[in-house]
Chains A and B, each alone.
Chain A
């Protein structure tokens, strides 16, 4: 078992993101963002946030990203910040475009802009959903009649407070996420080989904008954590040259080493995030190695104090533990008392 906390965004330093949302004449939209899709699905999340604010579907939002000529600045796909920071910027930019749509729609629906809401591809009067216009009709009217193209731009920077240089006191991050992972392992007490059978991962990410992508992040993070816990290590010779710079000698988990991963999303809502969302990218890996090390301790009573917990290291620790123990034949419970927490391995 291991639990953790992890911040969203950079340490103290300003880490803003900006975004531009353009609503097209048919009610679809384009989001411009400087962040980069690195495989995690962040552009889909940003499309969902933009769509939610405009009351349209994810598929209606096209995302243009990662071109310094075309897209606004972004601190980048780093520090688990895209959903929270860039997401907030995208939501605020979409809100501005939406307010233009409301201004255009208000006289057509005979109400004030503040009385309008956008949902399900429609702009309607709060409390009177039957008085509505299709968002495409409003957007087209905005361009061809009102001359007010609905475009919004915004930026967001998490509120932080510099740390005192002496005591380190301050507010380094906008928000944090929390998680617990519990691993089940099978340790071969003759060879020291550890197999991770199952990992239960309960993660807080604020509102899950897309639960499927949260699950994907957790599964990937746990797999990476298994490698960190048991196998991966860059080794150097006495002259400081890396001796295993290849995938033959640098051992990584394959799909066969990946345990059953049970993802559990903890209900949570962060009022400072877009629609209550925080983030999930990095934290998924944080508690895995600790949970596995504690599971090894629980299984065979040896404490691995240096990662990775290779078979060789676990085997040595088991041998050391056996040597320390008085030789006696008895039940497991009788031996338990001798399982010292000082059985450290280096």
Chain B
């Protein structure tokens, strides 16, 4: 208390209130006080503008309507029973007890689906498994109830009688012809691709050094913020409207028409604003089952996957096993490269064909290689199906060809940047499929990244904690 008059009598410069001090520039804060409306949207020419997104304001204000936010009068909520077994024969499904539960309005199984198969290339996926389970995430029955809780409880009352079979889990095992077929009687290899150019064996013989390496990648999920979701509404005219998180509505409508056996003109698919796709929502999942539940009940039916279902019952990224063999000159010029890729295709084909193609074509890297032999296989296993995911096999092969490249550079004592510049594509280079390439800027990107990064050659490789 005694100090108070002292301050008034002898004002100290350091104790002056903040307001009297010269204003420092405002620090960057997470929530800007002033909302700056970017003008890029209003400007011409439109191309090249840093235009803000039309949906940005709605996202920012939390007003975007995702499927989970949508509600229709009398809507029912659906849940799907998952097999939980990687490989089995379904002997019987008893849904009587579930159907008798108060609040449960309808239950369907695979037998209710008019044409129980779909897929972007091979039609090997059932909407709901009816006779066989090919991976643990397969659905075996779908329940529509007045609440999500009741639908979830009803799943427990569905009794499925399985004959458990031995699953095939290792892709290299699956590759062997004597391994029992996941989709018997066919062999497990369901896709094969070769890119052949020049003579690799001759190139290896002429090389100063030949390097080999094997690389593997894992299975990962897209993990979109919004899991897969849809609402189906079958009207009295026999026309069905499906709101879905699908990224490909044109293909989706064709698949729904096929599985339900109705003309496309009776199907309307509306894709809502999707909370992340990354390739995981490029084909239908539960849409036909929801449409049938809606038809059966005369009410709109909504289905939103749980996070667990998003992992086990939607597509994932293909794990790859990649063998590389590369012949180079002393100077680091690649003379020949031989590659074998084995893709773990999971239980169903899905987008494996595209992934196989891209992985195989891109596997040599952005380099001029005159002698090339790349061979890729995709095999079935009793695991979660693999499909489209951001990069379609490219991140996997890039991990292999770029790791391999640094190994070669290290062994030859060449800077990783130099060995890349020595081999990289130029304008007009021929790709592994002998396509003449245009607007090629791989060298520019290498040099610009190196300059920006402050690249000064290879590190000492002994743990300076500053690897690059």
Contacts and interface: CB of A to CB of B under 8 A. Distances in A.
A252 B41 CA distance: 35
Contacts of B273: 37, 39
Contacts of A296: 467
Contacts of B444: 178, 202, 204, 266-268
A260 to B, nearest CB: 11
B402 A290 contact: yes
Contact of A307 (B218, B411, B417, B459): B218
Interface residues of A, number: 145
A5 B442 contact: yes
Interface string A26-67: 000000001011110101100111011001111100010111
B402 A2 contact: yes
Contacts of A290: 395, 398-399, 401-403
Contact of B462 (A204, A305, A339): A339
A270 B219 CA distance: 34
A76 B450 contact: no
Contact of B390 (A65, A182, A221): A221
B433 A289 contact: no
A243 to B, nearest CB: 10
A84 to B, nearest CB: 12
A4 B394 contact: yes
A328 interface: no
Given A76-B282, A168-B194, A240-B167, A68 B468 contact: no
A167 B196 contact: yes
A51 B44 contact: yes
A102 interface: no
User: Looking at chain B, what size class is its interface with the partner chain?
Assistant: 35 or more
Contact of A183 (B167, B197, B468): B468
Interface string B410-449: 1100001100100011000001111101111110111011
A200 B452 contact: yes
Interface string B201-216: 0000000000001111
Contacts of B435: 161, 170-173
A36 B274 contact: yes
A81 to B, nearest CB: 11
A178 B442 contact: yes
Interface string B227-240: 00000000000000
24 contacts: A1-B406, A10-B354, A38-B247, A39-B276, A55-B45, A69-B270, A167-B196, A167-B197, A182-B455, A202-B452, A204-B441, A210-B40, A212-B52, A240-B169, A241-B86, A250-B311, A266-B441, A282-B390, A285-B390, A285-B391, A295-B468, A297-B403, A332-B464, A344-B213
Interface of B: 40-55, 84-87, 135-137, 167, 169, 193-197, 213-221, 223, 246-251, 253, 264, 267-279, 281-282, 307-308, 311-312, 316-317, 353-354, 357-358, 360-362, 365-366, 374, 381-384, 388, 390-392, 394-395, 398-399, 401-403, 406-407, 410-411, 416-417, 420, 424-425, 431-435, 437-442, 444-446, 448-450, 452-453, 455, 458-468
Given A183-B467, A290-B395, A294-B402, 12 more contacts: A11-B361, A36-B247, A38-B281, A184-B466, A187-B465, A189-B465, A202-B445, A275-B47, A282-B390, A283-B391, A299-B459, A307-B399
Q: Which 4 A-B pairs have the closest CB atoms?
A: A299-B467, A240-B86, A76-B248, A168-B195
